[in-house]
């Protein structure tokens, strides 16, 4: 993988795009620190595999039941709407 500073990359931009089209990656640096990467474009999105976690996850029947301790922390500690002074 080639590493260039911004000025060099700007001067060789067309070459870097051609390299990326051929599968090569290039790191662009500013002050010696990497800030960007020119990589080949993937035409095909990755295929979604439905059912990957089938049989591996179990959702309990009480999944959506509120936790009373948390409800008490919100409801029991302060009024929901502050009172206005008249």
User: How many angstroms separate the first and last alpha carbons of the chain?
Assistant: 71
Among 3.40.640.10, 3.40.50.2300, 3.40.1620.10, 1.20.1560.10, name the CATH number for the domain at 2-38.
Answer: 3.40.1620.10
Instruction: Give the strands of the sheet with 2-5, arranged side by side.
Output: 2-5, 26-30, 33-38
Domain ranges of the chain: 2-38
Instruction: Check: CB of residue 41 under 8 Å from CB of residue 20.
Output: yes
pLDDT at 9: 95
Instruction: Check: CB of residue 1 under 8 Å from CB of residue 25.
Output: yes
pLDDT at 47: 81
How does residue 77 score in pLDDT terms, banded at 50, 70 and 90?
Answer: low
pLDDT tens per residue, range 6-57: 999 999 999 999 999 999 999 999 999 999 999 998 777 778 888 888 888 8
Please name which of 35, 27, 30, 22 lies closest in space to residue 1, comparing C-alpha atoms: 27
Euclidean distance between CA atoms 39 and 22, whole angstroms? 10
């Amino acid at each position: 993988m080639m590493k260039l500073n911004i000025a060099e990359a700007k001067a060789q931009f067309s070459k870097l795009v051609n390299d990326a089209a051929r599968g090569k990656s290039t790191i662009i640096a500013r002050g010696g620190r990497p800030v960007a990467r020119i990589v080949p474009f993937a035409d095909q999105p990755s295929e979604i595999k439905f059912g990957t976690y089938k049989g591996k996850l179990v959702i309990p029947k009480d999944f959506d039941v509120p936790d009373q301790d948390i409800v008490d922390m919100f409801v029991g500690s302060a009024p929901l709407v502050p009172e206005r002074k008249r």
